[in-house]
Every structure is written in structure tokens, then in C-alpha cells.
Homo-oligomer: A and B are copies of this chain.
Amino acid sequence: MNAPRLDGQVPAHEAVYRALRAQILDGALAPGASLTLRGVAEGLGVSMTPAREAVRRLVAERALMMTDTGRVQVPLPDAAALDELFRARSLLEPELALRALPRADKALIADLRALDDRVEDRLAAGDAGGYVRANNAFHAALYARAQAPALMALVESVWLQTSPVMRRVYGRIGTGALVDYHEAALDALAARDAAALASAIRSDVEQGAALVREATA
């Protein structure tokens, strides 16, 4: 109805964006599901205009897909696309970790340990959605310390594309015997061992990739 607010309020299109984004990251929107602008708008109590903007923004980030007739749906990446996405993660995420390393103090490591505990907890509980969310939170907290918004934006776009699939995979596999590369990363962080840190993060990503490959085979 009006112009942007500098107070705590966020514009309607931003609220819609965040709501949809959260649903995608949590896997609440299943891959392949389709959305309608009117449905999104009414579901969040706004008009079509902000709903359209939020959807288009997510389409630009590849978190949603539009058919050539304008229909919106959650993408269902095939094996080749997943390979690309995990490859991008394994190239970009170690870089972010490395940039975070020099700024990592004891407080950050403690925070990360707490986040990793939650990851382990969700894993043990067999809560696939909670696991994916906690795992994202762990990585996000580490990379935030890198102070690299441009790189972070690239990685987040990839996460938006892989998260729905990850949720499915962990939901199906349950939680097999996973190597805990988070611990290794935290140790490397504490020891300021750059090579070990990069290696741990790369292994963590590649373990996820292998799991997905296996589950979709």
C-alpha cells in the first residue's frame, strides 16, 4: 500500500519472499509441487502484486521454476543438475570457510559446536527436516564470518536448489553411518589449519553429494 518502511516492518513482497524461501529450505514445498500466484497471495493475506514479485525473485534465484506458459513450480533437479550443484558447493564453500578462518575466535567456535550438537541431535532423532535446517544453520554461521556477501549469495542460491532434495534423501535414507566432518572442521578451525579446514568442508559437501547420488540412483 505504501513505500518501504525504515522501521521494523518489512514490505509485503519481502514477507512473502521469506515465507516461501523458508518453506523451500525446510522442504515444506515438495519438489515438483506447483504454486499459483493467487494461492500464494491469499495464503499470506496479500494481493497478487507482492506475491508475484516474491515468486519472480525466487525464480531468479532458481529456487522456483517457471514453465514456458508461466506456471510456477518447485524444481525437481535431475542427477546432472544435482551434480552441478554439489560441485559448485564443493568449489565455493571451502573458499568461504577459508575466509572465515582468520576471523574465527573462541566464541564462534563455541557457537558452531552448539549448532553442530543440534545437527547431531536432529540426526539421531531421525528428523530429516530439522536436520537439513540445522545443517544449513551450521554452515551459514561459519560462512557468515567470512564477510563475503557476494560469494555467500552464490552459495545460498545453490542451497535453495539442493535443500528440498536433501530433505527427501535424509527422510528416505533415515540417517545412515555418516562421517562427522563438522567436528573435523571445528578442530581445524581451532588449530588454524587451513588445509584441514578446506578438506573437511569439501568432504562434508561431497558426502552429501554421494548420499544424494546413491538415493536417486
If A87-B95, A95-B87, A149-B81 touch, whether A69 touches B154 (CB-CB below 8 Å) is no
Q: Tell whether, in the assembled complex, residue A151 and residue B92 are in contact, meaning their CB atoms are under 8 Å apart.
A: no
Q: How far is the CA of A70 from the CA of B12 in the complex (A)?
A: 13
Q: Tell whether, in the assembled complex, residue B151 and residue A154 are in contact, meaning their CB atoms are under 8 Å apart.
A: no
Which A59-113 residues have C-beta < 8 A from chain B? 59-62, 68-70, 77, 80-81, 84-85, 87-88, 91-92, 95
User: How far apart are A49's CB and chain B's nearest CB, in angstroms?
Assistant: 8
Q: How far is the CA of A49 from the CA of B157 in the complex (A)?
A: 25
Which of these, B57, B68, B81, B95, contacts A150 with CB under 8 Å?
Answer: B81
User: How far apart are A194's CB and chain B's nearest CB, in angstroms?
Assistant: 15
Interface membership of A203, Cβ < 8 A: no
Q: Tell whether, in the assembled complex, residue B84 and residue A148 are in contact, meaning their CB atoms are under 8 Å apart.
A: yes
The oligomer's copy count stands at: 2
Q: Tell whether, in the assembled complex, residue B91 and residue A150 are in contact, meaning their CB atoms are under 8 Å apart.
A: no
Interface membership of A25, Cβ < 8 A: no
Chain B residues closer than 8 Å to A4, beta-carbon distance = 68-70
Interface membership of A177, Cβ < 8 A: no
Chain B residues closer than 8 Å to A84, beta-carbon distance = 148-151
Q: How far is the CA of A53 from the CA of B51 in the complex (A)?
A: 11
Q: Which residue of B lies closest to A151 (CB)?
A: B84
Q: How far is the CA of A157 from the CA of B158 in the complex (A)?
A: 13
Q: How far is the CA of A158 from the CA of B150 in the complex (A)?
A: 8
Interface membership of A6, Cβ < 8 A: yes
**A142-178 interface code vs B (CB 8 A; 1 in, 0 out):** 0000011111011001100100000000000000000
Which of these, B92, B150, B157, contacts A85 with CB under 8 Å?
Answer: B150
Q: Tell whether, in the assembled complex, residue A92 and residue B91 are in contact, meaning their CB atoms are under 8 Å apart.
A: yes
Interface on A for B, CB 8 Å cutoff? Answer: 3-4, 6, 49, 52-53, 56-57, 59-62, 68-70, 77, 80-81, 84-85, 87-88, 91-92, 95, 147-151, 153-154, 157-158, 161
Could you list 29 A-B pairs, sorted by A, with CB under 8 Å?
Answer: A3-B69, A3-B70, A4-B70, A6-B69, A49-B49, A52-B53, A53-B53, A53-B56, A56-B56, A56-B57, A57-B57, A57-B59, A60-B61, A62-B150, A62-B153, A77-B150, A80-B147, A80-B148, A81-B149, A81-B150, A85-B150, A87-B151, A88-B150, A91-B92, A150-B158, A154-B154, A154-B157, A154-B158, A157-B157
